[in-house]
Structure 1
Amino acid sequence: MRSIRAAAMAACLLLALLPAVAPAASALSSEAAPEAAAPCSKPYLVEREFKNGARWSLCWEMREIEGLTLTKVVYTPRGHKPVSVLRSGHLAQIHVPYDSGEPRFQDMAGGLGSSVVPLQTQDCPEGERRVQDDIPMFCVLPDQARGLAYLRPSLGEESLRASVQGKELVVFSAFEIGWYTYLVEWRFADDGSITPRVGATGSLRGSDGIVVSPKHGWPIGVGSSDFEESHSHNIFWRLDFDIQGPKDDAVEQFDFTGSGTAKRVMKTTALAKEASAKNDRTRWWRVVDKTVKNADDHPASWEINNSDSAEYRGPASEKFSQADVYVTQYRKCERLASENAEPPCKGAVNQYVNGQTITDPVVWVSVDFHHVARDEDQDPMPTHWQGFHVAPRDITAKNPH
């Protein structure tokens, strides 16, 4: 499998640059989108247009280290020009520490690409399996329902009553690591939002002859003599944002003070230099390009919300686990959040934060889940999901539906 990354990158060479953007004030205005050359060859190109007129376009490849990697991700709202969102996005580490202190797996240390699971027809129902190196390893599902996009009541006038069901494009690959199968999934909605998430299934580790203390596990099987050890799944993602190209992108953090009071105050912090941040109840971030604006003259941005994470904190020897979000300046060799083995870059994401000014931001998001096993996890284990949300903020001037 060592040829995976080279083969995929060669197949997905850029054939043409994205079309030049219009002047800032009209870059996202409601104009017909010009035809552009495909950003990658057909087997690696995914395009989807929804009934509401919105479009997504992206390329995929299976890399030796990062596994499933999406590149050149572009969103086109109905009646608007395309706006590029991500240069690339992929997993950056699967950190699995057990509650007793050992073992402490870092599942991507040897590369994720060699663990890819060949997908069968039933794994990708009614979808399209895409092939690389003669292996069906990427699934593109048909439009998936995501619930009500909106429901507007009549307010006394029945003509105002309206509702729309939302749809989303879902793509995924699967990887077998130890006892687990990890489903790496991306969901692209017709409202412009993105949900990257990982599903863990497969089998429980079992005691392997090791006596697990009741303090560190849960009884599995008959009686209370065999305990499955609790553990965490700490999933790191790496998102290289490019809002209409790498220039002029910046990252801001938003906090809201006033818990327990009648008033709340918004505080905005510009992350002009590389930084790490921890989740807070009302904290979120955005990547903004202040030269690209919507019809209301508001800067275009993408909001990042990581409120579903269990927020794992490891020991001093795992400093990369001491924050939930990192913002770094783009460097090609900074590929993994830990066990990064490509010099001259450092070995972990906390070491990437060294005071550089941010001109081309990369956002690293850790989504953590504490798995306390239950009888229902036997066997095979039901999939448990963990992910975060990326939403358009001021990409359009009104509801895109």
Structure 2
Amino acid sequence: MILPLALAATLLTAPAAAPAPDAKECSSPYLVEQTLPNGARWRLCWEMRNIEGLAITRVSYTPAGSKAVRVLRTAALAQIHVPYDSGEPRFHDIGALGPSAIALTDADCPDGERREQKVCVLTRPRGHAFLKDGYGDAAQRRSAQGRELVVLSAYQVGWYTYIAEWILGDDGSITPRVGATGSLAGFTTAPKHGWPIGVGRRHFEESHSHNIFWRLDFDLNGKGRDVVEQYDFAGNGTKKRTMARTVFKRETKALNQRMRWWRVVDPRVLNADRHPVSWEINNSDSSEYRGPKDEGFTHSDVYVTQYRACERLASMNSAPRCKESVDAYTGRERLTDPVLWVNVGFHHVARDEDADPMPVHWQGFRVTPRDVTAKNPYAG
């Protein structure tokens, strides 16, 4: 559902609906501080923005027995683009997520804490952290179950209910993801554009994509020193495989490829092994939708841009004195304070199981610590 451009421009320049103070002064209900069972600790602030909805700011991770590491200055949703397979409609669902936030119930936040009724903070199991058999020696057998901190909110946008989660693991990982649930749109289409829903083959529910963008402003212990690198591994069909590193010195558009990932590194922040601390970005689960020429923002999977305060949305940005979409932001400017934009696509082909209420389908990506600690954070 597209927000009128004039209203979007107004909201983009307006303050957040529930602004968090600076993290140095951040207090309840905007402050989240959580120590997980393995001793790892997360600290962050949240705010409910008029346009993007839930954003997290000043995010720090403290491995067990170590010092805190600043990870993110700010991170938020940047667009939910929903084009239908017949060519129309083509929604941009981020227009006013903050006002669309749903009041959560206890059932929506099991064993967690509701903040301002619209944000849930909870911890939950994440499965095995590790398992080592011990090669038959029972005394050497070791395993541990992991746990994660989750900060979430939900929004009603047209037929869809979107659940936005920021998942922060006790291993230092960050998983941004969005789940779509609610109801199907009910658009009837030709068989080549949809799937038969209901009795017989009278109604073909139209297939469509959800192209979700996140904006991540990394800040590894201070702005101005972060570097973005791309890693590729060549050698399919051969016994040997080689690694190639590309350092992005200027604004860049990047595509997903097999055996490709990115990292944000500060060369001057070192772990105990004197290796630079970094966070790895893996976007291997995207359906990689590519739209027409006038939807250039869908033509890449990762964008790296120089920080500008007005560049908040991946499309329909509409802020005064700022370009309209992330592909236009990427103009080869030299990177001194990089911002990453990650585009994850999901192609929704409806099925009978999607009858009301529609089961949630998730999409997202993973940010993994690389050399943040010199050993397994569970190793003690």
Interval of TM-score (by shorter of Structure 1 and Structure 2): over 0.9
Deviation at 1:8, TM superposition (A): 2.3
Identity across aligned pairs (percent)? 63
In structure 2, the residue corresponding to 1:42 is in which secondary structure? coil
Q: Take 2:16 and 2:126, find their aligned partners in 1: how far apart are those partners?
A: 36
In structure 2, the residue corresponding to 1:285 is in which secondary structure? strand
Contact 1:312/1:368 (<8 A) preserved? yes
Deviation at 1:156, TM superposition (A): 3.8
Contact 1:255/1:266 (<8 A) preserved? yes
Q: 2:121 aligns with which of 140, 150, 173?
A: 140
Q: Which residue is equivalent to 1:393?
A: 370
Q: Where do residues 356-395 of structure 1 align in structure 2 (5 Å cutoff)?
A: 356-395=333-372
Tell me whether 1:121 sits opposite 2:106 in the alignment.
yes
Q: Which residue is equivalent to 2:4?
A: none
Contact 1:4/1:63 (<8 A) preserved? no
Contact 1:199/1:383 (<8 A) preserved? yes
Q: Take 2:135 and 2:76, find their aligned partners in 1: how far apart are those partners?
A: 45
Could you list the structure 1 runs, at least 4 aligned residues long, displaced by more than 6 angstroms after superposition. 1-4
AA paired with 2:356? D
Q: Take 1:158 and 1:7, find their aligned partners in 2: how far apart are those partners?
A: 56
Tell me whether 1:172 sits opposite 2:149 in the alignment.
no
Q: Take 1:159 and 1:125, find their aligned partners in 2: how far apart are those partners?
A: 37
Q: Where do residues 183-332 of structure 1 align in structure 2 (5 Å cutoff)?
A: 183-207=163-187, 211-332=188-309
Q: Take 1:4 and 1:115, find their aligned partners in 2: how far apart are those partners?
A: 16
Q: Take 2:357 and 2:142, find their aligned partners in 1: how far apart are those partners?
A: 43
Q: Take 1:156 and 1:99, find their aligned partners in 2: how far apart are those partners?
A: 55
With normalisation by structure 1, the TM-score equals: 0.90
In structure 2, the residue corresponding to 1:317 is in which secondary structure? helix
Contact 2:23/2:45 (<8 A) preserved? no
In structure 2, the residue corresponding to 1:362 is in which secondary structure? strand
Q: Deviations over 1:123-170 (max 9, x none)?
A: 112211100xxxx110012x2111110001112432211000000011
Q: Where do residues 21-60 of structure 1 align in structure 2 (5 Å cutoff)?
A: 39-60=25-46
Q: Which residue is equivalent to 2:18?
A: 8
Stretches of structure 1 that go unaligned for 5 or more consecutive residues are 17-38
Q: Deviations over 1:25-54 (max 9, x none)?
A: xxxxxxxxxxxxxx4121100111011110
In structure 2, the residue corresponding to 1:350 is in which secondary structure? helix
Tell me whether 1:339 sits opposite 2:316 in the alignment.
yes
Q: Take 2:298 and 2:99, find their aligned partners in 1: how far apart are those partners?
A: 25
Stretches of structure 2 that go unaligned for 5 or more consecutive residues are 1-6
Q: Take 1:156 and 1:181, find their aligned partners in 2: how far apart are those partners?
A: 50
Deviation at 1:66, TM superposition (A): 1.3
Q: Take 2:165 and 2:324, find their aligned partners in 1: how far apart are those partners?
A: 26
Q: Take 2:328 and 2:96, find their aligned partners in 1: how far apart are those partners?
A: 20
Q: Take 1:161 and 1:122, find their aligned partners in 2: how far apart are those partners?
A: 38
Q: Which residue is equivalent to 1:89?
A: 75
AA paired with 1:189? G
Q: Take 1:204 and 1:8, find their aligned partners in 2: how far apart are those partners?
A: 31
With normalisation by structure 2, the TM-score equals: 0.95
Q: Take 1:139 and 1:202, find their aligned partners in 2: how far apart are those partners?
A: 19
In structure 2, the residue corresponding to 1:311 is in which secondary structure? coil
Q: Take 2:283 and 2:76, find their aligned partners in 1: how far apart are those partners?
A: 16
Q: Take 2:296 and 2:23, find their aligned partners in 1: how far apart are those partners?
A: 41
In structure 1, the residue corresponding to 2:178 is in which secondary structure? strand
Contact 1:199/1:385 (<8 A) preserved? yes
AA paired with 1:13? P
**Cα root mean square deviation, aligned:** 1.4
Tell me whether 1:181 sits opposite 2:161 in the alignment.
yes
**Residue correspondences, number:** 368
Q: Take 2:315 and 2:224, find their aligned partners in 1: how far apart are those partners?
A: 27
Q: Deviations over 1:227-273 (max 9, x none)?
A: 10000000000000000011210000000000111010000000110
In structure 1, the residue corresponding to 2:72 is in which secondary structure? strand
Q: Take 2:264 and 2:102, find their aligned partners in 1: how far apart are those partners?
A: 34
Q: Take 2:175 and 2:352, find their aligned partners in 1: how far apart are those partners?
A: 29
Q: Which residue is equivalent to 1:22?
A: none
Q: Deviations over 1:338-366 (max 9, x none)?
A: 00011211000000011111111100000
Greater CA deviation, 110-119 or 242-251? 110-119
Q: Which residue is equivalent to 1:20?
A: none
Q: Take 1:239 and 1:203, find their aligned partners in 2: how far apart are those partners?
A: 30
